[in-house]
């Protein structure tokens, strides 16, 4: 799951807020591309979406309890050992100043309804029950996004993984299932047009793409085709789809092979995937 969501993040990062003409011309899955709007986003490197997903996965792969303090520590640790760009401007400026999670909890203003809590929620979807997913997702979300929409978006992203992983129904019906659990999310209403920074936007677009495609390659192209904050859309959607037996796992080799290979790149992600599944008793 972590490898796939990282591919979605890294591929989508090349198109984040790019002009529609650029997206139309280059969204071919033939290669990672350099973002024409954000030159600091390097082709083939993932962003904060994956780095924070790694942090959540590391907590879940360790012994509990899974508290806000432990998630906060993991967020700071992941950044300090591997500083990278892509975070929201204020959070990007704050992170280098933080020695640990306690400092994060003391200084953060968790009043955002943007996508930061949703983009990192995927690993929580592997927990055993819907109640476990809802509860643990809320714990990690409220650290930075303690708003009704911020928490709901994160819960929907994690539940999408849970639905696919547990094969709770056809992937095409995932929006209706979410509507039954998280009312007023309009999860089954197809998303159209560019995706803004709000968490509900990213998750709704991801759910729309999931429900309308049957392969990973088609899903990735569909996520990017929305335009806007598409790396987050792709991160959320590919995490869920990677756990579905209904979706063909056909990500192009050029994207898998081209994903960054540094200390926390492809090999680390694959190993953490294995550790996470083992710790949670998932097969």
Q: What is the pTM of this model?
A: 0.98
DSSP assignment of 215-257: BHHHHHHHHHHT-BSHHHHHHHHHHHHTT-SSSB----HHHHH
Q: What sign does the CA torsion over 280, 261, 239, 109 have?
A: positive
pLDDT in tens, the chain (283 residues): 999 999 999 999 999 999 999 999 999 999 999 999 999 999 999 999 999 999 999 999 998 799 999 999 999 999 999 999 889 899 999 999 999 999 999 999 999 999 999 999 999 999 999 999 999 999 999 999 999 999 999 999 999 999 999 999 999 999 999 999 998 889 999 999 999 999 999 999 999 999 999 999 999 999 999 999 999 999 999 999 999 999 999 999 999 999 999 999 999 999 999 999 999 998 7
CA distance 233 to 11: 11
pLDDT score for 85: 87
Among all chains, which residue has been given the structure tokens 């819907």? 130
Give Rg (Cα) of the chain: 17
109: DSSP letter: -
pLDDT score for 183: 86
Q: Nearest 5°: CA angle at 69, between 67 and 70?
A: 70
Q: Nearest 5°: CA angle at 56, between 53 and 62?
A: 140
H and E: helices and strands count for the chain: 15, 0
**For residues 58 and 123, is the Cβ–Cβ distance under 8 A?**
no
pLDDT score for 148: 97
* Structure tokens, 181: 């659990």
CA distance 166 to 168: 5
48: DSSP letter: H
CA distance 36 to 101: 34
pLDDT score for 184: 84
What topology does CATH give the domain 2-279? ADP-ribosylglycohydrolase fold (1.10.4080)
Angle of helix 174-181 versus helix 148-165 axis, rounded to 10: 130
């Amino acid at each position: 799951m972590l490898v796939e969501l990282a591919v979605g993040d890294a591929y989508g990062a090349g198109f984040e807020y790019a002009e529609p003409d650029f997206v139309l011309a280059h969204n071919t899955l033939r290669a990672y591309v350099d973002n024409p709007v954000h030159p600091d986003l390097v082709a083939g490197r993932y962003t904060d979406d994956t780095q924070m997903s790694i942090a959540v996965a590391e907590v879940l792969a360790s012994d509990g309890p899974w508290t806000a303090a432990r998630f906060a520590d993991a967020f700071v640790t992941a950044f300090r050992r591997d500083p990278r760009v892509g975070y929201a401007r204020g959070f990007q400026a704050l992170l280098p100043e933080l020695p640990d999670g306690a400092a994060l909890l003391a200084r953060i203003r968790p009043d955002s309804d943007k996508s930061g809590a949703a983009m990192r929620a995927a690993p929580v979807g592997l927990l055993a029950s819907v109640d476990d997913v809802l509860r643990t997702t809320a714990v990690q979300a409220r650290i930075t996004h303690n708003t009704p929409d911020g928490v709901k978006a994160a819960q929907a992203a994690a539940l999408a993984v849970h639905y696919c992983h547990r094969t709770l129904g056809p992937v095409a019906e995932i929006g209706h299932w979410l509507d039954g659990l998280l009312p007023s999310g309009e999860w089954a209403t197809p998303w159209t047009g560019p995706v803004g920074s709000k968490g509900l936007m990213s998750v709704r677009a991801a759910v729309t793409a999931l429900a309308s495609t049957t392969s990973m390659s088609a899903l990735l192209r569909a996520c990017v085709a929305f335009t806007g904050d598409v790396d987050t859309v792709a991160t959320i959607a590919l995490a869920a789809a990677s756990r579905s037996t209904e979706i063909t796992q056909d990500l192009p080799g050029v994207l898998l092979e081209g994903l960054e290979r540094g200390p926390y790149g492809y090999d680390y992600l694959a190993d953490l995937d294995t550790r996470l599944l083992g710790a949670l008793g998932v097969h």
